[in-house]
A and B are shown apart, each in its own frame.
Chain A
Amino acid sequence: GESVGLHLPTLSVQEGDNSIINCAYSNSASDYFIWYKQESGKGPQFIIDIRSNMDKRQGQRVTVLLNKTVKHLSLQIAATQPGDSAVYFCAEKTGANSKLTFGKGITLSVRP
């Protein structure tokens, strides 16, 4: 069936380096994508979203890239900080009234 997944379960980066978290999706009809961050003991927190008519969107220290050709989504975090340590989820939506489908999540660990 269709699914959203993440390539790696964990990612360890040095403080100050850039982080890249990848997500593969299999439903070519998906038209809306979201990245969430979940810190320990908290619910998922919205980071950034992107619609399928775009291939790049920037926020504060974060950039989401969408490659529809290979059905790949990535989240780039510039100058990673200890506070960025969390589990990151990508999610996709197919159509305006469809539900969000979440990936399993990847843990980002920032080394001091």
Chain B
Amino acid sequence: ETGVTQTPRHLVMGMTNKKSLKCEQHLGHNAMYWYKQSAKKPLELMFVYNFKEQTENNSVPSRFSPECPNSSHLFLHLHTLQPEDSALYLCASSQGLGTYEQYFGPGTRLTVT
């Protein structure tokens, strides 16, 4: 295991639902990330947090709302999603924002119906 856990592993939600994805890292890292992985597309960075502060929002629609209460936990709140938001959502962490490898969780497979 990588030391990064994500829950739930699978999620099916309707377009009017509100749900949250959770990520926790047990590595003592300071930076955390949300990525979207769609079929046949490169990993897309969504958000970056460093020491609980958001440092990057990669033009993500407001229906995705991140929250980072501390350096070990990261949430992605979802509301009024679209079917095209169906994807694998991956959380990652790294020691810092510099040239450090990122450790990924197993992802949450999200299906929007």
Q: Which residues of A contact B (CB under 8 A)?
A: 4, 31-32, 34, 36, 41-46, 49, 51, 89, 91, 93, 96-97, 99-105
Contact = CB atoms under 8 A, between A and B. Distances in A.
Which secondary structure dominates chain B's binding surface? loop
B101 A34 contact: yes
Given A34-B102, A97-B97, 6 more contacts: A44-B104, A45-B2, A45-B104, A46-B103, A101-B42, A104-B41
A43 B48 contact: no
Given A43-B105, A46-B102, A96 B41 contact: no
Contacts of B4: 43
Contact of B43 (A42, A45, A89, A96): A89
Contacts, number: 52
A104 B101 contact: no
B42 A43 contact: no
A19 B45 CA distance: 29
Nearest to B6: A43
Given A43-B2, A44-B43, A32 B103 contact: no
Interface in B84-113: 90, 92, 97-99, 101-107
